[in-house]
Amino acid sequence: MSTEKPRRNQVGPSTQAVQGGEPRTKVTSAIAMPIIQSATFTFTDTKELSDYFEGRIERDEYGRYGNPTQRVAELKLAALEGAEDGLLFSSGMAAITTTLFAMLSRGAHVVVTDDAYRRTRQFLHQILRRYGIEVSTVPAGDYERMEEAVRTTTRLIFSESPTNPYNRIIDLERLADIGRRHRVKTIIDSTFATPINQRPTQFGIDLVIHSATKYLGGHNDFLAGVLLGSADLVGAVREFHGITGAISDAFISYLLIRGIKTLALRVARQNENAQRLAEFLEAHPKIERVHYPGLPSHPEHHIAVRQMRGFGGVVSFEVYGDLHTASRLVDACRIPRIAPSLGAVESLIEQPALMSFYELTTEERLQVGIKDTLVRYAVGVEDADDLIADLAQALEQI
């Protein structure tokens, strides 16, 4: 893991998570950011209205364009990511789709890696193609293929790091270099990493997206997404966002602010738990392979060590056997719940072949890289000894 020390004018991630982005003095002197539950905001007189529209003052006008609670959540995440600005959305997919719509037009071309989130790839290949936007898919980690795929019409390179579900690690510096040399914007979905473990903008990535539903909120109780990057790029998407209306309301923004305050603590525990589970699984005779960047056996472990401060809370692994063997293991676990999503305080477990690709045959799943024996374990903050003991008893039953 990276051992880079913060500069003197920087503070640590825990301090940023608690203090970053919030005004020192809030409305009514509250220590918690209040929920400004208003859809519209009044003006004192027409001069104030003119000052607002001509950019002499900053304030809120209408809830679709922003809310004070939302703005604090955006600034807090920007501070944590080390970005200039942030923009909150109603979900992670809303952040992805709105950003892509805002940055692309007919005739444009996008390069995406093959291990990107399934819904992202579906949106690119099925929806954007209908609007005359071309898409090339390249293997994650194949930078030669990635560069070869770039055309004069390419506008974006989109990837994840770590990827879902195999925890592939993208060399962010190398990706950013390709983007700079070809004048193509780069976007990383950094949901699996969180700003605690990785800050893609520090490696030259233009824009970062998180599903705030996951680690940032941390409690499985709301949906949200965020875009982070330079003020110019985020501002351009903000204008589009105000038209499409994929907004996050004040109460969700409040819950997000509240969740972020314990983010560094939760992620540290999840990093530790996941590392221990990965090491236990890799040594077990009934496990064929473990996909976790904290293991030296991971093909991009050396990259993860260089650019991450922690290796994340998702452990994917393959059992010896077939689909039903993996199902018996999942059903035998007593602590994790069977559910989609990840990043919250509760451990969750699933088989991607069933949870995300149920409608496909085994052969069709293999064509998109999903094995029937693959299990994804999203580690929570429970005691690692209990999680390992639970997995051990489950493995005895298959």
Residues 249 and 268 in one domain: no
- At residue 208, φ and ψ (nearest 5 deg) are -125, 135
Contact criterion met (CB below 8 Å) for 131 and 163: no
Residues 207 and 351 in one domain: no
Q: How many CA atoms lie within 13 A of 84 on its CB side?
A: 10
Residues 89 and 52 in one domain: yes
Residues 44 and 175 in one domain: yes
**Residue 286 CB partners (closer than 8 Å, separation 6+):** 319, 320, 395, 398
Considering only CA atoms, give the Rg of the chain.
22
Count structural domains, the chain.
Answer: 2
CA dihedral 127, 133, 138, 143 (to 10 degrees): -140
List helix spans (H) across 308-368. 323-332, 352-355, 362-367
CATH of the domain at 326: 3.90.1150.10
Tell me if 184 is assigned to some domain.
Answer: yes
Among 243, 260, 277, identify where a domain stops. Answer: 260
Residues 101 and 233 in one domain: yes
Q: How does pLDDT run along the chain (398 residues), one tens digit per residue?
A: 554 444 445 788 889 889 888 888 888 888 888 899 999 999 999 999 999 999 999 999 999 999 999 999 999 999 999 999 999 999 999 999 999 999 999 999 999 999 888 899 999 999 999 999 999 999 999 999 999 999 999 999 999 999 999 999 999 999 999 999 999 999 999 999 999 999 999 999 999 999 999 999 999 999 999 999 999 999 999 999 999 999 999 999 999 999 999 999 999 999 999 999 999 999 999 999 999 999 999 999 999 999 999 999 999 999 999 999 999 999 999 999 999 999 999 999 999 989 877 777 777 777 777 899 999 999 999 999 999 999 999 999 99
Full DSSP string of 67-108: -HHHHHHHHHHHHHHT-SEEEEESSHHHHHHHHHHHH--TT-
Please give the Cα distance from 376 to 277 (Å, whole number).
12
Among 213, 239, 260, identify where a domain stops. Answer: 260
Residues 178 and 287 in one domain: no
Predicted pLDDT at 355: 85
Predicted pLDDT at 1: 55
Residues 232 and 105 in one domain: yes
The parent domain of residue 169 ranges over: 13-260
Contact criterion met (CB below 8 Å) for 226 and 86: yes
Predicted pLDDT at 361: 77
Tell me if 306 is assigned to some domain.
Answer: yes
CATH of the domain at 187: 3.40.640.10
Among 219, 240, 260, identify where a domain stops. Answer: 260
Residues 138 and 287 in one domain: no
Residues with a catalytic annotation lie at 64, 117, 189, 214
User: pTM, whole model, 2 decimals?
Assistant: 0.93
Residues 177 and 33 in one domain: yes
Residues 214 and 339 in one domain: no
Residues 336 and 255 in one domain: no
